[in-house]
Structure 1
């Protein structure tokens, strides 16, 4: 069980957008659920813009300083949004928790390495700007 699993979608959305989600609750599962919630409301591009801004604000609330080695990660955020969007096209789910149950492969934090070499993905450049995959193309969102 994850720290965010006790929150239904409405509560998670309220905590994320209200910047009251705790650092302990802001897990990989929570990131995926919030991505699903964004994509339930907006296009991929709009969801990406909104998630970027909200993650940076939440990081500020958590006292996380944005540096080239820490904080918001542009490429990873976009990759996870694309992976969530691609999975959403495969199967509609009633909630973000149902979605994670239907697509447990998304819980593998190493999934982006199917598309990127570790060196490229974990670079300071990929943290600050979008970097195209160098191993395999991302799925269609």
Structure 2
């Protein structure tokens, strides 16, 4: 799988705008890109300790999807296993970063790293398992190698 080049964020405010728009379900649908998913999730994990990402990420993203006319079903919308795989990767990335490092630098470094690539979950999952209905609807463990 060939990954497209990533679109870096310009500043901290751009990342916070995405995250706040996600939470408030006010983010324009066109702004909900791969980079936005990762930037908003990293912001939530690092800068919003009031949000329990493990308990709420499915509801947050599902509600946002519905707010822009999307559907969360067996073939589209929220994908639990992909999301939780990237959450694990974001936490791994954050473990190597200084807590006071500017948000934009941390997010753009994530996007430039292997963890930030769209195909990163396929290091751990076969396509059949990752793109299954069961993996979309709930977390399924990897079938190739363990998550970090």
TM class, shorter-length? 0.7 to 0.9
Aligned to 2:131: 122
Aligned pair in 2 of structure 1 residues 74, 123: CA closer, same or farther (>3 Å)? same
Q: 1:47 and 2:53 equivalent?
A: yes
Aligned to 1:133: 142
Unmatched tracts of structure 2, length 5 or more: 1-5
Structure 1 segments of 4+ aligned residues over 6 angstroms from their partners: none
RMSD: 2.3
Unmatched tracts of structure 1, length 5 or more: none
* In 2: Cα distance, 1:59 partner to 1:5 partner: 25
CA contact (8 A) 1:4 1:30 kept: no
* In 1: Cα distance, 2:59 partner to 2:40 partner: 13
Pairing of 1:53-64 with structure 2 (within 5 A) = 53-64=59-70
Aligned to 2:87: 81
Aligned to 1:94: 102
How many pairs align? 137
Aligned to 1:69: 75
Determine helix, strand or coil for the equivalent of 2:102: coil
* In 2: Cα distance, 1:2 partner to 1:49 partner: 29
* In 2: Cα distance, 1:120 partner to 1:107 partner: 20
In terms of mean alpha carbon deviation, does 126-135 or 47-56 score higher?
47-56
Q: 1:111 and 2:120 equivalent?
A: yes
* In 1: Cα distance, 2:145 partner to 2:50 partner: 23
* In 2: Cα distance, 1:52 partner to 1:5 partner: 27
